[in-house]
Amino acid sequence: MKKQKLIVGLGNGVEKYAGTRHNFGFDVIDRFNEKYNLNYDRMNTTAWISRSKRSSYLRKKLETQAVLGKPISYMNTSGPKIKKLLEKLGANIKDLLIIYDDIDLDLGRVRIRPSGSAGGHKGMRSIIRSLGTDGFARLKLGIGPQGDLNSEDFVLQKFSKTEKDLKKKVTDGAVEAIIDFCNNSIDELMSKYNGIDYNQKTVRNKNKEL
């Protein structure tokens, strides 16, 4: 049986927050499921999940099985839900990827890291506290620049009409990064994606694509 990867997008699981900057992680998971025609199942009160094994195309495309999740919680209490999801699935922390918004990066930029601090992100702080480690991979999606708004108000803004095309490019790129996470090492992912600026359509790292 193939190994299993767990990919979790962060957001606030309440309808009024749909489409906000803080729900960027949710949007990536939704787009992956839309692209590959996967359906969600509700795992009790823990998360909405989908599984790549339900797609014959993905079973052939992926080196490992992928389980994609959206915690049924508010952003700031994501940690206990993700811990429970890992336990229910019997998944390993080293096979976990968290996708979330980063206010310190401009929209169009992404960062993949194998580990690291929460950096002021309350959802990540909750996860690190619940798991007892920061040693898991993360894909950070830029939502800046912040401007004059305070952080709490800015992250709960919806993306503007002029930002939506750029957001779509980033979202589609993140969907491809999920595929790569299932097939390649984290070092290969960082080499491929960390130099990309979707806004300028440039790649600072000239290494060959995976």
Q: Phi/psi at 24 (nearest 5 deg)?
A: -55, -40
CB atoms within 10 A of CB 27: 25
What residues are labeled active site?
22
Beta bridge partners of 49: 41, 69
**C-beta separation of 103 from 154 below 8 A:** yes
Reading the block at residue 24, the tokens are 């960027």
Name the residue among 145, 98, 104 with its Cα closest to residue 125. Answer: 98
CA 93 vs. chain centroid, Å, equals 15
Based on DSSP, count helices (H) and strands (E) in the chain, helices before strands: 7, 9
